[in-house]
Amino acid sequence: MTPLNDGDAPAPLTPPDDAANFGVSQVSGSAQQQAIAPSPFVADPAAPAPPVYADAPPPGSSASIDQPLFANYAQPPVRRPVRIPHFGHLLLLSLLIVGVFCIVVIALGLASYFHLFGLRFSAISATDVGFNLAFEAVLYFGTFGLALWVFPMIWNEGYFAGLQWRGDVARSKFWLLLSIAAFCFGLAILDQVVLPGPANAPIDKMISSPGAAWLMFAFGVTVAPFFEEMLFRGFLLPALCTAFDWIGEKIRHASPLPLDADGHPQWSMPAMVVGSLVTSLPFALLHREQQGNSLGPFLLLIVISTILCAVRLKTRSLAASTLVHASYNFLLFMVELAVTGGFRHFDKM
């Protein structure tokens, strides 16, 4: 044992070389392990990429951020566009006409029973122009008023827009449409020469007085063309064309024709031909009794109606066919006006 001197300081304790090397290697080894070990915040390039689905938006896009949870279930189902007017709309219009007709008949029956306004059915003649035109006007305007209210709610668009009225097309083609009306008037003159109608047709008896003639003139060039075109070329013709194409699509398992830029249906050529011919038959039958059930005027009305259908389909404007119809009637009445000297000499007809 070596004694300690008071003047000597103790020597510092130094670790052996092995211990020093062990500490340094331990520290450097832990740092290397931390550098080699994968960080939970950095993607491992060796790891497999997550699956990408076909309907998934690209990573980082706004759609992948803003799209709500269960977005596919939140979206409404895709529905096929409805082609209007179709046969269901035509049936609804028919029900409106029947309903208004029944109301008018009941009202007239009550008025006749209680002698209101001096009305008596027994005193009304079948050729009474005032009564017949008043009845038709009430029927037309009553149905029209209901249609203006009902159909926009079904179509989700305006009544005239759904029927493709398109008055601007009629204005832009005004002179062309007048020339078509003049052509129809020429066909009427030719028909009168080749297949003349009866001498005393019921319509001739209805305009045997100046007042009745002027009333028929005003009604025939305004109210009648407007409502007849609305029924036959506005509802019946599109419904027939759509039904024809729909049946063909079901038979051939084909896709429907796309709608036009305004959302209205387009039809095939066979559908338009068949629809025009079928539409023309009831149109001619409607006026058959006025012409004394004569063959010549009946065939003429079928041809005129087919031309009106062609105008409606070609221009896609109900106003265009209405203008041709009204102009044709105007020319017919102008001839009678000139022949009778202003509806005064009916013996010259």
Segment 219-242 mean pLDDT:
96
Does position 75 have pLDDT exceeding 70, yes or no? no
Q: Which residue has the higher pLDDT, 128 or 107?
A: 107
HSE of 289 in the Cβ direction (CA atoms, 13 Å)?
Answer: 5
> For position 44, what pLDDT does the model report?
56
Is residue 3 in a domain?
Answer: no
pLDDT in tens, 87-99: 999 999 999 999 9
Domain count, the chain: 1
pLDDT score recorded for residue 27: 45
pLDDT of residue 200: 74
With respect to residue 69, please indicate whether it lies within any of the assigned structural domains. no
Higher pLDDT, 35 or 237: 237
In a domain, 333, yes or no: yes
pLDDT over threshold 50, residue 300: yes
Query: What's the pLDDT at 122?
Result: 56
The reply to whether 28 falls in a domain is: no
Read off the pLDDT of residues 185-205 as tens digits, 9 standing for 90 and up: 999 999 999 988 777 777 777
pLDDT of residue 220: 94
Of the pLDDT bands very low, low, confident and very high (cuts 50, 70, 90), residue 291 is confident
Domain that holds residue 139: 87-348
Cβ neighbours around 240 below 10 Å, total = 23
pLDDT at 16 over 70: no
Residue 279 domain-assigned? yes
The answer as to whether 144 is a domain residue is: yes
pLDDT tier for residue 343 given thresholds of 50, 70 and 90: confident
pLDDT in tens, 17-67: 554 444 444 544 554 555 455 555 555 555 566 555 555 555 555 554 555
Q: Is the pLDDT of residue 251 over 80?
A: yes
Which contacts qualify for 145-153: CB closer than 8 Å, 24 or more apart? 146/96, 146/99, 146/100, 147/93, 147/96, 150/92, 150/96, 151/85, 151/89, 151/92
Q: Is the pLDDT reported for residue 235 higher than 90?
A: yes
Tokens for 21, please give them: 């090397």
In a domain, 71, yes or no: no
- Upper half-sphere CA count for residue 38 (Cβ side, 13 Å): 7
Residue 240 or residue 289, greater confidence: 240
Q: Is the dihedral of CA 221, 224, 227, 228 positive or negative?
A: negative
| pLDDT (0 to 100) of residue 219 | 95
Average pLDDT over residues 265-280: 96
Quote the pLDDT of residue 227. Answer: 97
**How many Cα atoms sit within 13 Å of 260 on the Cβ side?**
9
Domain contains 33: no
| Residue 262, C-beta contacts closer than 8 angstroms, at least 6 positions apart | 161, 164
